[in-house]
Chain A
Amino acid sequence: LSLSLQAKMSRPVQAQRLEGIDKNIWVEFVKLAATYSMVNLGQGFPDFPPPDFLREAFMRALSGENHMLHQYTRAFGHPPLVKILAQFFGKLLGRDLDPMTNVMVTVGAYQALFCCFQAFVEEGDEVIIIEPFFDCYEQMVKMAGGTPVFVPLRLKAPKDGKLTSSADWQLDPTELASKFSERTKAIVLNSPNNPLGKVFSRGELELIADLCVKHDVLCISDEVYEWLVYDGKEHIRIASLRGMWDRTVIIGSAGKTFSATGWKVGWTVGPNRLLQHLRTVHQNSVYHCATVAQEAVAQGFQRELELYGKPDSYFIQLPKELQQKRDWLVQSLDAVGMKPIVPEGTYFLVADISEFKSDVPDVPDSDEPYDSRFAKWMVKNKGLAAIPLSAFYCGAHKNKYNHFIRFCFAKEEATLKAANDILQKWKQEKTSP
């Protein structure tokens, strides 16, 4: 073999951009849940179906006279969908939006995030990520060659006897400001926040906005849970704050909006000067998104536009139902001693499992964070699946909050009841001699 061929064969076959991003918590935990769980409150998806009006729209699209809905549509978004999204979000933002240039459809919000990082981040750039965070942000920043810079939400001690709220987890303004440098290209905002359920207040958003404007930083605003806010809270769009429209990409998801995560329809909304670069990434990676689901989602939004603010609106009914489920799960957990952090939004709830630690002995010198071992033990031994909070922290910080697990409560009453039964039985086993 020639020297150059030997050198080639001794190099890894895969590209360097994959370094450090090959592990994925979901692959592991989804498999575990599939194998062991009897009650799956782990991965974030509803176990109830999408609303009837949406399913009917899908059936009409796939079986209708227009069989061209089974062929390619416009690459940057099926015209009926981008038109209604432009109308709908234009109304919410108080802005005239052009469906062709201010909106782009993606394969789920996941691919929207990918397009953003690929379009705007490169080697030498820093991206601020607020912890705890949806784990793909870190991976995607790294794949783009950028450097993630983390800033944690810190738990402010709750009033005695009261349950913690996601609102009690806050950014320290000085700490946040210190994370901005001349290398900072973007900050990722996720509100309502997965996993905590925090809904950032106007004051908190203004804090972030001021720093973005001051340092000329982009904002990637993941708002997939925008409709899932409780207790009369308001979801405020950071793009509507002064100086922010021109530097923000808003990301949304049909999966979360319409309880159809398996359809993988997402979108980006923003100024053309930013979206043009997303289009470049999109046309060189995926190009077209599936047509039929886009047609159905367009019809879903049409209905919601007509019913906006009215009691029949899915955007009003769904959060109402989910708030009840939230309260149910809070009660269940509190009753057995798992301390819930009451979420202001999303369909996730994080609970402190300190009182159950005796069931899963600590292993000193273990690489694996405690909560991850706990969650694995719990699904195997109790049949209840949840996700360890450490999954939502960067490597260096995984052991800081290692006694929390995340539950998804977008589940049928029967599922939540079954979870309650498991928890009650578990508690009884602990207290009986």
Chain B
Amino acid sequence: VEFTKVAADPSIVNLGQGLPDISPPSYVKEELAKAAAVDRLNQYTRGFGHPPLVKALSQVYERVCRRKIDPLTDILVTVGAYGSLFSTVQALIEEGDEVIIIEPFYDCYEPMVKMAGAKPVFIPLRYKNNGNSASSADWVLDPDELANKFNSKTKAIILNTPHNPIGKVFTREELQVIADLCIKHDTLCISDEVYEWLVYKGNKHIKIATLPGMWERTVTIGSAGKTYSVTGWKLGWSIGPQNLIKHLQVVHQNTLYTCPTPLQEALAQAFWIDYKRMDDPDCYFYSLSRELESKRDRMAQLLQEAGLKPVIPDGGYFMIVDVSTLNVDLSDVDEKEPYDYKFVKWMITSKKLSAIPLSAFCGPETKRQFEKYIRFCFIKKDSTLDAAEVILKNWNKQTA
């Protein structure tokens, strides 16, 4: 919440908050116009999800997961993936429970777990030095360290793949390690997969729910905002077995009851359009990914030329960057603040470029480990990246 205020200034090139400044595909907007023109679609729809939308979601995900998904019992539509995370935590987590959170983490996981009265247990992704290239794949969990975090109180683990902020796409082997522990300790898995379609060449998004023994203990979360570049529609969904989803539905009927109708109708129609071309490279799920891959590569190059060390993400639309190589001296600024916070504030005021400090995504113990990193968002139109390029090319001139 802090940083969105600072970056609302139009003179600043905003690569901070994770929202696209590119336009959603035109057919998505057209479907919304069509939906809003139908009288009854401006009134309440089914609480747990507009029937055409849950039907479309079940079709898309049946194909991806290769299993039957009942649209009425296995799916809940929520206000963004954020709403799905909230419903899942409120439904299944309470005082006395522990929830494992992998650091760095999307910052709402911790407060949501605490709000449910439970205890967050952190485990960091650790950088495994593999030589020159810095890739998100270099950040891994230590299997023994992870195993030690599980005990009889562990109710759930929150998994985020592709990962925000690092962009890591967990491999099948890595997911198997997590799955084995979940099964051994009878732990639930809350799998935040909002960036599921944004994986780059050489990588494959694997759903942990499809691993043996995992469907019955996993809630998988998705997002229209990330899938269709419409973060302002705030529609998300939880998919899982009826015996878990039914509890999320209870939370939903006691918190906001229904999600907006015209948006759900439009989303359903957009999904049908892309479902029909899931074998076609022009399907938006794949075309967006290709578009973003070239933006990723451009961003990485610009950062490297400015003397920064980016960690090339295998997925998602964020890139973390090691800024310690620049040796910007901020020791005269407030001592107590982590370095990355100070760096970002300095960068916003003196370079007119914004990003998000990585320690915002860490628990208290790990802030020191990540404070030399900042996060850039690259789902930006060419003119924004051009403006960033100008700043980065001039960076060293001004610092000298």
Residues of A with Cβ closer than 8 Å to B? 2, 4-5, 7-9, 13-18, 21-22, 24, 26-27, 30, 43, 45-50, 55, 58-59, 62-63, 67-75, 107-108, 110-111, 114, 136, 139-140, 143, 259-264, 283-293
- A285-B42 contact given A15-B91, A15-B92, CB 8 Å threshold: no
CA gap between A139 and B256 in the complex, in Å: 12
Question: In the complex, which of the residues A43, A261, A287 contacts B82, with contact meaning CB atoms closer than 8 Å?
Answer: A287
- A111-B1 contact given A72-B17, A262-B41, CB 8 Å threshold: no
B366 sits at the interface (CB 8 A): no
Closest residue of B by beta carbon distance from A286:
B79
Is A62 within 8 A of B32, CB to CB?
yes
B44 sits at the interface (CB 8 A): yes
- A67-B23 contact given A9-B186, A293-B260, CB 8 Å threshold: yes
**For residue B244, which residues in chain A have a CB less than 8 angstroms away from its CB?**
13
Is B254 within 8 A of A63, CB to CB?
no
B274 sits at the interface (CB 8 A): no
Taking the closest CB of chain B, its distance from the CB of A17, in whole angstroms, is 7
Taking the closest CB of chain B, its distance from the CB of A298, in whole angstroms, is 14
- A110-B257 contact given A17-B90, A18-B91, A262-B44, CB 8 Å threshold: yes
Is A68 within 8 A of B21, CB to CB?
yes
Is A13 within 8 A of B232, CB to CB?
no
Taking the closest CB of chain A, its distance from the CB of B85, in whole angstroms, is 9
Question: In the complex, which of the residues B33, B80, B254, B259 contacts A143, with contact meaning CB atoms closer than 8 Å?
Answer: B254
- The 8 A CB mask of B237-253 against A (1 = contact, 0 = none) is 00000011001001101
**For residue A143, which residues in chain B have a CB less than 8 angstroms away from its CB?**
254
**For residue A26, which residues in chain B have a CB less than 8 angstroms away from its CB?**
47, 253, 257
Taking the closest CB of chain A, its distance from the CB of B128, in whole angstroms, is 32
B233 sits at the interface (CB 8 A): yes
- A290-B152 contact given A68-B21, A114-B256, CB 8 Å threshold: no
**For residue A49, which residues in chain B have a CB less than 8 angstroms away from its CB?**
39, 42
Question: In the complex, which of the residues A8, A46, A62, A293 contacts B33, with contact meaning CB atoms closer than 8 Å?
Answer: A62
- The 8 A CB mask of B212-237 against A (1 = contact, 0 = none) is 00000000000001000111111100
Is B232 within 8 A of A114, CB to CB?
no
Taking the closest CB of chain A, its distance from the CB of B118, in whole angstroms, is 9
Question: In the complex, which of the residues B17, B36, B90, B152 contacts A58, with contact meaning CB atoms closer than 8 Å?
Answer: B36
**For residue A47, which residues in chain B have a CB less than 8 angstroms away from its CB?**
39-40, 43
B16 sits at the interface (CB 8 A): no
CA gap between A107 and B152 in the complex, in Å: 37
Is A63 within 8 A of B29, CB to CB?
yes
**For residue A261, which residues in chain B have a CB less than 8 angstroms away from its CB?**
42-44
Is B255 within 8 A of A263, CB to CB?
no
CA gap between A49 and B36 in the complex, in Å: 10
**For residue A290, which residues in chain B have a CB less than 8 angstroms away from its CB?**
79, 232-235, 260, 263
Please name the 9 residue pairs, one residue from A and one from B, whose CB atoms are nearest each other, closest first.
Answer: A262-B261, A291-B232, A4-B152, A15-B94, A49-B39, A14-B247, A111-B256, A67-B23, A45-B43
Taking the closest CB of chain A, its distance from the CB of B266, in whole angstroms, is 9
B83 sits at the interface (CB 8 A): yes
* 7 further interface pairs, Cβ-Cβ under 8 Å (given A7-B152, A111-B255): A8-B152, A13-B244, A14-B250, A45-B44, A263-B261, A291-B233, A292-B233
Is A13 within 8 A of B44, CB to CB?
no
Most buried by A among B21, B36, B188: B36
Is B260 within 8 A of A15, CB to CB?
no
Query: Could you say which of B107-115, B138-146, B203-211, B345-353 contacts chain A?
Result: B107-115
Is B42 within 8 A of A262, CB to CB?
yes
CA gap between A14 and B91 in the complex, in Å: 6
**Can you offer 11 A-B residue contacts whose CB atoms are under 8 A?**
A15-B94, A18-B91, A30-B46, A46-B43, A63-B33, A71-B20, A111-B255, A114-B254, A259-B42, A262-B260, A286-B82
Is B41 within 8 A of A285, CB to CB?
no
Question: In the complex, which of the residues A5, A62, A259, A284 contacts B108, with contact meaning CB atoms closer than 8 Å?
Answer: A284
Closest residue of A by beta carbon distance from B230:
A70
B262 sits at the interface (CB 8 A): yes
Is A140 within 8 A of B254, CB to CB?
yes
- A59-B254 contact given A18-B247, A46-B43, A284-B108, CB 8 Å threshold: no
**For residue A9, which residues in chain B have a CB less than 8 angstroms away from its CB?**
186
**For residue B4, which residues in chain A have a CB less than 8 angstroms away from its CB?**
74-75
Taking the closest CB of chain A, its distance from the CB of B180, in whole angstroms, is 15
CA gap between A136 and B152 in the complex, in Å: 35
B288 sits at the interface (CB 8 A): no
- The 8 A CB mask of B281-302 against A (1 = contact, 0 = none) is 0000000000000000000000
- A13-B79 contact given A263-B260, A288-B234, CB 8 Å threshold: no
Closest residue of B by beta carbon distance from A3:
B152
Is B29 within 8 A of A70, CB to CB?
yes
CA gap between A26 and B48 in the complex, in Å: 12
Question: In the complex, which of the residues A8, A17, A58, A286 contacts B80, with contact meaning CB atoms closer than 8 Å?
Answer: A286
B19 sits at the interface (CB 8 A): yes
B149 sits at the interface (CB 8 A): no
B45 sits at the interface (CB 8 A): yes
CA gap between A11 and B17 in the complex, in Å: 40
Taking the closest CB of chain B, its distance from the CB of A413, in whole angstroms, is 15
Closest residue of B by beta carbon distance from A410:
B43
Closest residue of B by beta carbon distance from A144:
B254
Question: In the complex, which of the residues A17, A24, A293 contacts B253, with contact meaning CB atoms closer than 8 Å?
Answer: A24
Taking the closest CB of chain A, its distance from the CB of B46, in whole angstroms, is 7
**For residue B108, which residues in chain A have a CB less than 8 angstroms away from its CB?**
284, 287
- A108-B253 contact given A58-B36, A284-B112, CB 8 Å threshold: no
CA gap between A68 and B260 in the complex, in Å: 19
- A288-B80 contact given A46-B43, A70-B29, A70-B233, CB 8 Å threshold: yes
Is B232 within 8 A of A71, CB to CB?
yes
Is B1 within 8 A of A136, CB to CB?
no
Question: In the complex, which of the residues A16, A24, A59, A72 contacts B94, with contact meaning CB atoms closer than 8 Å?
Answer: A16
B116 sits at the interface (CB 8 A): yes
Is B188 within 8 A of A13, CB to CB?
yes
Most buried by A among B37, B80, B93: B80
B185 sits at the interface (CB 8 A): yes
CA gap between A18 and B234 in the complex, in Å: 25
CA gap between A26 and B243 in the complex, in Å: 21
CA gap between A217 and B19 in the complex, in Å: 41
Question: In the complex, which of the residues B1, B186, B251 contacts A283, with contact meaning CB atoms closer than 8 Å?
Answer: B1
